[in-house]
Structure 1
Amino acid sequence: MALLEEMTAAVQAIAQTRWSTRRGQVVPDPEDVRLGNDAVEFDRATVLYADLNGSTNMVDTEAWQLSAEIYKAFLHCAATIIRKEGGKITSYDGDRVMGIWVGDRQATPAAKAGLKINYAVKMIVMPALKQQYPDWTGTVRHVVGIDSSPIRAARTGIRGGNDIVWVGRAANHAAKLTDLDLAPSTWITDEVFIRLADELKYGGTPPTLMWEAFRWNRQGGRRIHGSDWAWRV
């Protein structure tokens, strides 16, 4: 079959095949979902994206070895923290990592992961790089975005090269939050904030609210909360 006919038939099958859905209890791996129109549904999941800020400029101006070390150090710390806080790492995409939480406890561990990533960047990654490269005048900046919503997992791609795609607001908005170029390094939506345990809302002595409220104009004035607090790992 010629390439045109093969792709046309595949797209027609995708558009015409009825979806099969089932409730999920755990985050699926790609092999847990059929490659056809098969989806795993979650009433609510919390998605975290951790992204390096300014990585394009970094690779344009820094030695490739240093850029690679920053990628590796940041993603190692972020992924380790996501897993330690009970999240499932679902994808790496260049300079970012995605984690997801399902089940009864989602918002609090996801937000704690965000604050711990901030700690790791400031207290682990940066000191190690400055020690190794004392003449380096650069910095490592990152942004974490977290949102919560109903979501569905489907398998996409072709045989021998496929992955899970997450269809729902939380995945898209968590990623979009990492585009914000403001002082806070961790961003959560109001749906996450209202579900936080008090230990993730207030810090210090006397207890101080760790989050500042904003309106997300690019998303219809949606209420979001930003923090630059760090949580010791």
Structure 2
Amino acid sequence: MTLGTELQTQVAEIFAQAWDEQTTYGVPDPTQIRLNNHAKDLQIATVLYADLDGSTNMVDNYQWWFSAEVYKAYLRCAARIIASEGGTVTAYDGDRIMAIFTGDSQCDNAVRAALKINYAVEEIIRPAIKKRYPTTEFLLKHVIGIDRSQLRAARIGVRGYNDLVWVGKAANHAAKLTNLSEKPLWITKSIFDGLGNFCKFSNNQSMWDSRYWTAMNNALIYCSTYRLSM
């Protein structure tokens, strides 16, 4: 059987096979999902994407090892903060990280993580870069997007080379929010409505400004420059 014939058969099986869908209340391990049409259903989950802003310019104009150090510093801080707020890192993709939060406090936990990552950028990573490279003009910038929805996890790839794909509005929208660079933190109305006052107000002032997301049918979203110390 040629490779083309083999792939033709496998693709036909994917579209013909019924899905076995099981409800789950936490982020599943890839080993809990079969490679055939099997999915885990998180009925409501919050997705956080944290992304370096301007990394293409960085790799084009700075030494490779400088870019590597910036990547490592940002992703290390983001991953540790996400874990401290009860989130699960589900993917690293170049200069970005994806995480999922579940449970009753998922909106607050995700937003606290975002606020702390913003603090880490401004008060930990930027000063460290300036101390190590005092003459550099580079300024680390980042964008975080957060949304929530029903999510389904399916296993993709082939045996020995596979990963999970997350299917649902939140995964796509959180990623697309990182394309907005006016401010570092962006959340959807669904996230904003799920927040407690601690994540909405600081000194009786709202931490969030509203915007209309023109690329997504003028959906109401919120942005912020606030941070939360650790």
Q: 1:231 maps to what in 2?
A: 228
How much does 1:26 deviate? 1.2
Cα distance in 1 between the residues matched to 2:34 and 2:43: 20
Q: Could you report, residue by residue, the CA deviation over 1:28-81 in whole angstroms, capped at 9, with x for unpaired residues?
A: 111110011001112110000000000011000011111000000000000111
Tell me the secondary structure at the aligned position of residue 56 of structure 1: helix
**2:62 counterpart of 1:62:** yes
| Deviating 4+ runs (over 6 angstroms) | none
How much does 1:6 deviate? 1.1
Q: 1:165 maps to what in 2?
A: 165
On the 8 A contact 2:50/2:145 being kept in 1, the answer is: yes
Cα distance in 1 between the residues matched to 2:27 and 2:208: 29
How much does 1:103 deviate? 1.8
On the 8 A contact 2:25/2:43 being kept in 1, the answer is: no
Aligned-residue sequence identity (percent) comes to: 48
Tell me the secondary structure at the aligned position of residue 12 of structure 2: helix
Letter in structure 1 aligned against 2:226: W
Tell me the secondary structure at the aligned position of residue 187 of structure 1: strand
Q: 1:195 maps to what in 2?
A: 194
Cα distance in 2 between the residues matched to 1:202 and 1:104: 20
Cα distance in 2 between the residues matched to 1:66 and 1:122: 18
Equivalent in 206, 211, 220 of residue 209 of structure 1: 206
Q: Structure 1: give runs of 5+ residues left out of the alignment.
A: none
Aligned pair count reads 230
How much does 1:143 deviate? 0.2
How much does 1:2 deviate? 1.0
On the 8 A contact 2:45/2:100 being kept in 1, the answer is: yes
Q: Structure 2: give runs of 5+ residues left out of the alignment.
A: none
**2:180 counterpart of 1:220:** no
On the 8 A contact 2:52/2:96 being kept in 1, the answer is: yes
Q: TM-score, normalised by structure 1?
A: 0.97
Cα distance in 2 between the residues matched to 1:102 and 1:230: 22
Cα distance in 2 between the residues matched to 1:45 and 1:177: 17
CA RMSD of aligned residues (A): 0.7
Cα distance in 2 between the residues matched to 1:79 and 1:128: 18
Cα distance in 1 between the residues matched to 2:65 and 2:132: 12
How much does 1:230 deviate? 0.6
How much does 1:104 deviate? 1.5
Question: How is 1:1-233 mapped onto 2 (pairs within 5 angstroms)?
Answer: 1-182=1-182, 184-204=183-203, 207-233=204-230
Cα distance in 2 between the residues matched to 1:11 and 1:104: 39
Tell me the secondary structure at the aligned position of residue 49 of structure 1: strand
Cα distance in 1 between the residues matched to 2:216 and 2:9: 36
Q: TM-score, normalised by structure 2?
A: 0.99
Cα distance in 2 between the residues matched to 1:5 and 1:102: 42
Cα distance in 1 between the residues matched to 2:104 and 2:43: 11
